[in-house]
Each structure stands twice: as structure tokens, then as C-alpha cells.
Amino acid sequence: MHNYIYTYNHLDPNEIKTSVERVERRLFYTVVVILLIIIAIILSSCKKFVQIPPPKSQIENTTVFSNDATAISAIRGIYSDMITTSGFISGDPSSLTFLAGFSSDELINYTNPSDNQEFYTNSLTSINSTVLGSLWQPAYFYIANANSAIQGLQTSSSLTESTKTELIGEAKFIRAFCYFYLVNLFGNAPLITGTDYRVNSLAGMVSPDSIYKQIFDDLKDAQIRLSSDYSFSNGERDQPNHWAATALLAKAYLFHGDWALAEQQSSDIINQSQNFSILSNLDSVFLANSQEAIWQLKPTSSIINTNEGFSFILTDAPQIASISNELLNSFETGDLRTQHWLDSISVQGTTYYYPYKYKVQTSSTLTEYSMILRFSEQFLIRAEARVKLNNIIGPTGGISDLNIVRTRAGLQGYMGPTDEENVLRSILHENQVEFFTELGHRWLDLKRVSSVDTVMSIVTPMKGGAWNTNWQLYPIPQSELLNDINLKQNPGYN
């Protein structure tokens, strides 16, 4: 897949990332990708998934799912690929965390590639190779892996029933997760649920409602199939379980405007699960297997912990990103998150602030995992859903859930007007200061609540661009349009 080589401000990536990942990825592909050789035949390289000729045989797929051990390795290999392959949710500078952070009002861009500058100034073009190689293609790559796994698992007669059930649930979760981000970044998109290359090659666009229906169906099935603890992943929180499916389903319902269903799902995970808690110690939240983690990705490097820690922590003037003034000024006086989740460095009289949720830049001891879903989000999901349902005040009202997150941050409870508009504004603000630089949370929120035009029409000119409401959806890559006549460009792009 497409990958940029970045000049890091603190370590030589050619010594650290390139050499280490070369060795580790060689081992990874030996163990896992050989097992998934049919997927590699379909989707290897950066070519569009619909362009690849049919696989030579189905023998390899049968081999992958011939016993529990190889089937489990195949699914776990998808998570390893997510964290080691540049882009999408890997946490590196070409991932959603950085790119959507540049698009919104979270980050200042210091990288040289013009592709990233287009994200920063909200001036993306359809030939932006980072849109293609870091967002669109990786998401469909993991979807194709999930589709192949679902097919192989369903037709296998040699797996134990419990393993088959669990792994189909994980594969459907992976597919739903990827489609959640595709629909929120691009809007209309191809909905691929099978492995027939002839069908996929003719895939057209479907509406967000159709994609959400698939997300809901996949996650509800995953809920039934997945275990409610972390025993299947040996006590680690690096594989999604029933509660991960529940958390994502609550979020998907919220984004789709299904308030009662969002409240129900978030309440299920808040009230019924004994596996999670809001940690009073903010420095413990992003540790490996913390009680606040619902799903994390486990790093595979022997030298660094998370890509986020490696890329965000500054030891000199930034060459990738720093916190924007808009985000910095959003924190209230006394907010503990400014003490524990932000840090700064002064270089030649200029102070730069950076995210400090992950404390480890380089270490051979693994103490932090990349956070994908965490418990505190469920309180803000339920808060918003309840306010939308006109349940605002009282012990079960939306303000009560909002205050759980505020109290953990050392702030007093919400004291503003209790009408829907003002409380929702406070919830949006709490999401901003709680989930900054986490998988494009802020960018997606601004679009979801229709605040993107108001905010970005002020922010974009300060970044050197000119805001247009069409830019809230990223462009469909031009190369994809040329390869598939059934795809259509988003409004505002050539």
C-alpha cells in the first residue's frame, strides 16, 4: 500500500520504523499472510480491489480454515496488519488520527508532503494519493480480509463450533468497523460483502442508510457470537468481544440518529458489564489492558510502543504536528486533562503543545496499546441520546452522564441552561476535550451535529484555505473512478 517516508523530529525513521518493521513484517507475512494467500492474491499491492483477476484456486482458503489454530492466526493477523500498515487506524502520521486532526481544528501540520497540506487547508483533490492509499484502500483491504474470513469460516467443517462462532463474530465486527469510517469520511461508497471478483468489479455506490443497515446487521450478529469477557484473547483487550460490538453499535446508532437504540446499547455496556470503569488516574487510561479500554490494538514493534506516542511526543520543534490554539483554548481552567494529556516543549522562545495521552516514545518494554474504543465515550453517547429524547435533568438525565466525564477531569458539574441546545453544545465540547487526537473523533462530530460549517469557516482561513461545505466529505479517489464506471464523485470535486 501507499506509504510516505516522514522525517521525524526525534528519531531517524530509517533506523527505527523502516528497519524494524521490515523484519517484523517479514515474520508476520510468513506466519499469517501465507495462511491468507487467497486474500493476498486478491488484494496485494496498491491496485484497486476490483481490478485483480480471480484467485487461481480455493485450496489455500480451505487450508487456512482447516483447524482452530490457523483460523485464529488469520483473524489476529488482520489486527496486526492494522497496527503495522501505514494509514487508516495505525496511529502513524498518515493515519486517520493525524489526517482528520489536520482537517479539523485539532492539529497544526508541519509535514512536507502536499497531500497532508491539502487535509490541513481543507483543499483536498481527487488525485490526493493519501486519501487513496491511507484511508480508502486500507479500509477496503480489511473489509476484503473480513469477507474472505467469513466465507471460509462458514464453509469450514473442521473447526470447533465455538471457535467458528467467535471468529465469524470478529470478522463481522471488523467489516462493520471499517464501513463506519468509510461512510462517515466519504458518504456514499461501494458496499462489498462477498468475495466474487466479478461482482466486486461492478460495485457501485450505495447510500449511507444502506451502509448503516449493513453495520447494524453485522454488529448485532457479532454481539450474539462474541464472548462477554476477554478469555478468547487470553485476557488481552486486543481483540473485539461482545462489549466492543455493543460500544460500536451504540456509536453507529448515535451517528444515524437512532436515539433510543443508542441509549439502549450504551446503557447495556454501562450497566451490565463488570469489565470496565472510568479511571480516576488519567495517566492510566491508555495503558495496555486498562479498565477503561474496550478494544485496543497491540503494537508489534520491539522498539516503540504506540505509533501515536512515537509520532506525537516532541523533543524538538515539530516536524509532524502540534496542538492547535483552537484546541488548546478549549480547555476550561482546572481541567486535569491539560496536566495529564497535554505536554509542551519550548524551542528558541516558541512553545509547542502536543498530545501526551501516550507517554512512551521509544521503549523495548511494552506498556501502552493503541486505544480504539473506550468506556468513557459510552457516557457521552448516552448523554446525547437522552437529551435528544428530552431526558435532560435528574439522576437518569443526560446531564448526569455528562458530569461523570467532567468530574473525572476535575471539573464541576454542568451549571448552564438546561435546554436541549445548550446541553448538546456542552456535550460536543466535552467530546472535543476528552477525545482529541483519537481516530478523527472531532472531525466526525463536527459533521454529525452540523457544526462543521460554523467552525471550519472560521478555522480554515487561518490555516490558509477557504472553507466550502462540500469539503466535509473527502473525495472519491480519481483512480477508483477511472477503474469503475459505477462510482460517482462527491459534490465539489472534479
pLDDT given for residue 363 in this prediction: 94
Mean pLDDT, rounded, for 362-378: 97
Nine-digit cell string for 97 = 488520527
Nearest to 475 by CA among 459, 460, 494: 494
- Asked, for residue 490, whether it belongs to a domain, the answer is no
- Asked, for residue 352, whether it belongs to a domain, the answer is no
Q: How many Å apart are CA 170 and CA 90, to the nearest integer?
A: 18
Q: What is the mean pLDDT of the chain?
A: 89
What is the enclosing helix (H) or strand (E) of 163? helix 161-186
Nine-digit cell string for 308 = 501515536
Mean pLDDT, rounded, for 289-315: 96
Strand 189-190 and strand 107-109: pairing? unpaired
Nine-digit cell string for 210 = 444502506
- Asked, for residue 3, whether it belongs to a domain, the answer is no
- Asked, for residue 292, whether it belongs to a domain, the answer is yes
DSSP state of 475: P
**Beta-carbon contacts of residue 128 (< 8 Å; ≥ 6 apart):** 115, 118, 475, 477
332-361 residues labelled b (16+ CB within 10 A) or e (exposed) = eeebebbebbbbebeeeeeebbbbbbbbbb
Concatenate the DSSP letters of all residues of 245-273 into one string.
Answer: HHHHHHHHHHHHT-HHHHHHHHHHHHHH-
Structurally, the chain folds into a number of domains equal to 1
**Beta-carbon contacts of residue 450 (< 8 Å; ≥ 6 apart):** none
What percent of the chain shows pLDDT beyond 70?
87
Q: What is the CATH number of the domain that holds 375?
A: 1.25.40.390
Cβ 181 vs Cβ 28: under 8 Å? no
Q: How many CB atoms sit inside 10 A of residue 44's CB? A: 13
pLDDT given for residue 16 in this prediction: 37
Classified as helix, coil or strand, 412 is coil
Nine-digit cell string for 478 = 480519481
Q: How many CB atoms sit inside 10 A of residue 46's CB? A: 14
- The pLDDT tens digits of the residues spanning 118-167 come to 999 999 999 999 999 999 999 999 999 999 999 999 999 999 999 999 99
- Asked, for residue 310, whether it belongs to a domain, the answer is no
- The pLDDT tens digits of the residues spanning 182-239 come to 999 999 999 999 998 888 878 999 999 999 999 999 999 999 999 999 999 999 999 9
**Beta-carbon contacts of residue 352 (< 8 Å; ≥ 6 apart):** 314, 317, 318, 322, 323, 344, 345, 346
CA separation, residue 209 to residues 185, 187, 249, 283, 385 (Å) = 14, 10, 15, 39, 19
- Asked, for residue 331, whether it belongs to a domain, the answer is no
Residue 68 has, within 13 A of its CA and on its CB side, a CA count of 9
Q: pTM higher than 0.85, yes or no? A: yes
pLDDT given for residue 197 in this prediction: 80
Nine-digit cell string for 168 = 465469524
Q: How confident is the model at residue 63 (pLDDT cuts 50, 70, 90)?
A: confident
Q: Which domain holds residue 387?
A: 14-305+368-483
pLDDT greater than 90 at residue 36:
no
Cβ 253 vs Cβ 262: under 8 Å? yes
Q: How confident is the model at residue 61 (pLDDT cuts 50, 70, 90)?
A: low
Q: How confident is the model at residue 442 (pLDDT cuts 50, 70, 90)?
A: very high
- Asked, for residue 343, whether it belongs to a domain, the answer is no
Concatenate the DSSP letters of all residues of 185-245 into one string.
Answer: HHSSEE---S--HHHHTT--EE-HHHHHHHHHHHHHHHHHHS-SSSTTTTT-SSS--HHHH
pLDDT greater than 60 at residue 310:
yes
Strand partners, 351: 346
- Asked, for residue 334, whether it belongs to a domain, the answer is no
pLDDT given for residue 352 in this prediction: 98
pLDDT greater than 50 at residue 31:
no
Q: How many Å apart are CA 75 and CA 239, to the nearest integer?
A: 9
Mean pLDDT, rounded, for 289-317: 96
Nine-digit cell string for 371 = 486505544
